[in-house]
Structure 1
Amino acid sequence: MRADAKKNYEHILAVASVVVTQHGADASMRDIARRAGVGLGTLYRHFPTREALLDTLLRAGFDELTAKACELETASSPDDALVSWLHDVVTFTGNYQGVVAAMIAAIEDTDSALHASCVTLRTAGARLLTRTQAAGLARSDMNGDDLFSLAAALAWLGDQPSSAPRAERLFRIIASAIITNRPSNLSLPADFQMNQNP
């Protein structure tokens, strides 16, 4: 990709990130093109579908979350690693209003542009959960699919105006239900703050 084309592509992505954050996963492609100062045809040349655009926006974040899971596997106690990673997943996905439904659908749809990224994210969480279970610190009757669904549910709740003020409390309840032999007021990362969309 030529330098000017790469700059244009990165500009479109930056604008798309803002628009999707503001208007959710169903943000208008026409609005994104207009705000980026490009023609709709140019936008579609880079991203033939809205799903392809979402995949590009989410993939970098998912890759970071997957890399973090790998680091946490050796750098933290199993239970702390799992709670920290779950917090980061919920916060990241909550930043893009409406993306949770697309993620859940993509897990089952192998033709979805989001499928590979979502499967990779789910697998990273499953490894952390399995490690925590092996240490006897997480309930044994759940798997990576359950963990992914709970993360999606918590992110969705953060999107709901009536639930957003209780998002941190709800996270603590779910995390305490996953982690065994820890008090219900388990410690969370110092920078913990659930996304609260207005």
Structure 2
Amino acid sequence: MSLIENLRGRGEGEESPGGKYNPFRILEIGESMVRYCDGIRIKNYNFLAILTSDRLVLIESAQQSAGTIAKEIPVSMIQGAVMERDEKNRPALAISMEVGGQTRLMKLVFTGLIAEPETECREWFAAINGYPPEPEVQKEPEPLPSVQVPPSAEPHPQSKQVSPSPIIDAEAVSAVRKEVPVQESVADQVKP
């Protein structure tokens, strides 16, 4: 069997190793594979989703061995995709489609059945839209509330406090500590 035949699938009725459907079997002449992923949830069903150069094909996961296509959407109908989260905080794509003059949404949820659902969702976004999603902005931790130090408790301007850094040589730190006068702690200086 040649490499191309192996990629496109075995003879009719033969399954891929492990009993999973070989997504390359659905390719038609001139059509190329873009992405495929098993474990995509739409409403209450899990699908093997296959995105080709011409169409988005959905095969119900439970029916993979039969290879029966549950839904087929031409790529020309797909307007774009937006990354979202479902009610269980899983990554999802809301795909908008033009159907009979109306825009419809279909939400693909990338479930825990997928090794890396976050990465897979981002790659599907890029494949559908033609550009990668914006990088996620990490929220900066909120600063701790500042404590007001009474003026009498402020350190004297001539003395400097040295805090050791893990990068500084230990001998250099001990030499600096010998030069710095010992100060009373702030708690000892503030008296009620």
Q: Between the two structures, name the one with larger relative contact order (CA 8 Å, sep ≥ 6).
A: 1
Richer in helix (by share)? 1
TM-score by length of structure 2 reads 0.21
Richer in strand (by share)? 2
